[in-house]
Chain A
Amino acid sequence: MLDFSRTWVPYIYLYGVGGGIFLIGMFIILRSRSLKLEIVRHKEWYKILIFGFFYYMGIHGLFTFAAIGEPMFAALIGLIMIAMTANLIFTLFIKPKRV
């Protein structure tokens, strides 16, 4: 049986420290108006950026649960990821045509 420090501490560190870096990055690009939410294309990128963070959190969570023999939790995360991906695809492709 693997203990918590072996299974989840690296995960928490990865998304704690990495999440901090990600948040600082998001803050800087929004504050500097490099990413302008009023531009439709930029708003899509804003969603993609947030999606990407949770997407990777999901992949690592899914595989951790699968490795420690918790298939139900792994499947649940898998379903959430499918829903997130479907939502993103819908948002990006069901839209008015523009440049």
Chain B
Amino acid sequence: MDSAIQTSASFWVIIFGYFAVVLGFGSFFARYNKTTQDFFFSGRRFSWWLITMSIVATGVGSHSFLKYSAKAYEHGFSSTMTYMNDWFFMPLFLFGWLPIVYYTKIRSIPDYFERRFNPGVRILATIAILGYMIGYIAIGFLTMGKTLEPLLGIDLYMIIFIVAIISGIYITFGGQTAVIFTDLLQGFILIFAGILVFILGINYVGGFDIFWNALSPEFKLPLANFNQPSNFNFVGIFWQDGVAGSVGFLFMNQGLIMRFMACKSVHEGRKAAAFNVLILLPICTIVVSNAGWIGKAISIVTPESWNATTQLDHVFTQVAYLITGSEVLFAFVIAAVAAALMSTVDTLINAVAAVVINDIYRPIVKDKDDKHYLKVAMIVSAGATAVGALSTIFFENFPTLYEAHGFFHSTMTPPLVVAIFLGIFWKRYSTPAAIATFLGGAILMWIGNKYPQIFISPFDHGIEFNPERPYTYIRALYNTLVCAGSGVIVGLLTTPPSEEKMEGLTVWSLDKAREFFKGSAPNDRPGESLLAKWIVKDCEEGEVRFSIGDMETMGADVGDLVYLADERKWLGGLKSVHSVYGEPHKEDGVVYITQFQVESGLFDEKRKLIAEKEL
């Protein structure tokens, strides 16, 4: 297997054809990018279902297919652990971090740090978050290289180079709207492809009963052995992935945060997140792992058809090749994995550009027009792609992608995760405490890394010390504790920040954040959405006007925020605008809007608008 799999020209025609369709789909929607706000946040207009599907494609990155298939083949159903432990942090995410980022209109996570602390902490956060995202991009490229390596039989870095160029071109010109719509398409496709592999695989081994009975009870347990082996154990993975990874992904993944900020409201963002974790993640865990289970079953039921020398990171490709039975299907499955790579990487490249423009470039080069920043954002996107591709060197030496990713999460996420957490939930958390979290935490993490047997072993839960890769996963617990400890001690010893400085920036003052978002006191009076015909009339700038009766139906007052969208719900908010209620008129069922709003919302003359009060 690890020599190149034989493929014909039609295989590559399908692969490149698939890419062309996906890129064309994204480029079509890229025309909606008119400003940097659109390029990064898509104008905060989309429905939950569109965002949740695009989150799938981002979360279920290409690394997922390869790394979980590898661990699924080795350790069984416990490969699902990492997708099935995200709910513990949902209360804090849905009613803490999500409304804060949405209502405070932060442009990036470092932006939050400046508002909550000071510009110095913003710089520390910027460095940490760029390191995290570039590392993530690198793992994405490395995965793609490993996916195609057995097919092409050419040098890994040559493959990475080619993939990086394709990704870079796409994201550089597409922006966030293109990313969201491409991911929507790819989200559906990769779920379909993963389920297809499962069905074909079950069929290949002779049916579900044969598959189930071939696997040992231990293989079928959903959670791994508590503390062994050192390269895959429950407790280490719980702290590395369930805590550091989950929080890292939900709270500090700029790409994901930008998705939620593209939702039309906080409520829609909550729906997207909850649906994703409750429904899609359990499906996705089967999608990304099943090739490993199928591979194990094949190796037991029909050992003659299984190449026992298959590298773990090549299990997915090997299984897909065996079970599809046709080159067309095989090409489709590989294209879906490639699509997953694009989804993960393009989101992160776009996020890197957002951080660089908003946190580094804009504060230095002020007062330029938006076109200038948009142009620089495109150049940064191309640069981030190149740096990400070069950074793959750091992860190439790990035995599997799973371990590379695990080590990366354990090391990179704790300082930011702790700083975000304490910043949101602890009012005493001051600027010196945040600096201590980053700097003190980094020093203690370095010491722990240097002397793991002294510093990390007290937290090892009985995990065996592996001198080659000491405490790959459980180091996340040590790293989190030292970062938290540094912050808490300094927080307790220094003067707490004033309440005014923190208004709207912690979970304790969310009403203030809502007020800040609206510009006046929120109106929570219950109301209903309604359908209205639109007419272009002169209104005050940024306002729309409804009848008195319609405003009563919506529970709205003059000055409240309103969301108007094309009546076709399947558009998911693509044609929509946010506005403010102006003085009412007397025509029920009609909304007066300006020509500018018609153009911004891309409204169709023949279509009514759905209107709903926001705040």
Contact = CB atoms under 8 A, between A and B. Distances in A.
Q: 4 nearest interchain CB pairs?
A: A25-B91, A67-B220, A10-B223, A10-B234
Contacts of A18: 85, 88, 238, 242
Contact of B507 (A29, A40, A41, A66): A29
By secondary structure, the B interface counts as helix
Given A14-B223, A25-B89, A98-B528, A45 B270 contact: yes
B526 A29 contact: no
Interface in A1-35: 2, 5-7, 9-11, 13-14, 17-19, 21-22, 25-26, 28-29, 32-35
Nearest to A50: B91
A99 to B, nearest CB: 5
A68 interface: yes
Contacts of B88: 18-19, 21-22, 25, 53
B424 to A, nearest CB: 9
A51 to B, nearest CB: 8
Nearest to A6: B225
Contacts of B270: 45
A35 B85 contact: no
A67 B77 contact: yes
Interface in B261-291: 267, 270, 274, 277-278, 282
Contacts of B529: 99
Contacts of B87: 22, 52-53, 55-56
B507 A34 contact: yes
For A7, A52, A64, A67, the residue with the greatest tally of chain B CB atoms inside 10 Å of its CB is A67
B404 interface: no
Contacts of A39: 524
Interface string B90-106: 11101110010000000
A73 B562 CA distance: 51
A68 to B, nearest CB: 6
B221 A28 contact: no
Contact of A99 (B95, B99, B277, B554): B554
A28 to B, nearest CB: 6
Interface in A44-64: 45, 48-49, 52-53, 55-56, 59-60, 63-64
Contacts of A6: 218, 221, 225-226
Given A63-B77, A69-B217, A99-B526, 18 more contacts: A6-B218, A14-B242, A21-B243, A22-B87, A22-B88, A25-B96, A28-B92, A29-B91, A29-B95, A29-B96, A34-B99, A39-B524, A49-B91, A52-B87, A52-B278, A56-B85, A98-B528, A99-B612
A97 interface: yes
Interface of B: 77, 84-85, 87-92, 94-96, 99, 217-218, 220-226, 234-235, 238, 242-243, 267, 270, 274, 277-278, 282, 425, 507-508, 510-511, 524, 526-529, 554-555, 612-613
A18 B91 CA distance: 12
21 contacts: A13-B238, A14-B234, A18-B88, A22-B89, A25-B88, A25-B90, A29-B95, A29-B96, A39-B524, A41-B267, A52-B90, A55-B278, A56-B87, A60-B223, A63-B220, A63-B222, A67-B77, A67-B218, A98-B526, A98-B528, A99-B613
A67 B220 CA distance: 5
B91 A22 contact: yes
A51 B22 CA distance: 37
A93 to B, nearest CB: 13
Interface residues of A, number: 43
A22 B246 CA distance: 13
A11 B529 CA distance: 44
Nearest to A60: B222
B510 A49 contact: no
Contacts of A49: 90-91, 94
A33 B77 CA distance: 39
A21 B217 CA distance: 30
B278 A45 contact: no
B277 A52 contact: yes
Contacts of A10: 223-226, 234-235
Nearest to A28: B425
A29 B92 contact: yes
B221 A2 contact: yes
For B87, B94, B612, the residue with the greatest tally of chain A CB atoms inside 10 Å of its CB is B87
A13 B278 contact: no
B220 A17 contact: no
Nearest to B221: A67
Contacts of A64: 221-223
A2 B217 contact: yes
Contacts of A21: 88-89, 243
Contacts of A14: 85, 223, 234, 238, 242
B267 A13 contact: no
A99 B555 contact: yes
Given A2-B218, A2-B221, A10-B223, A32 B507 contact: yes
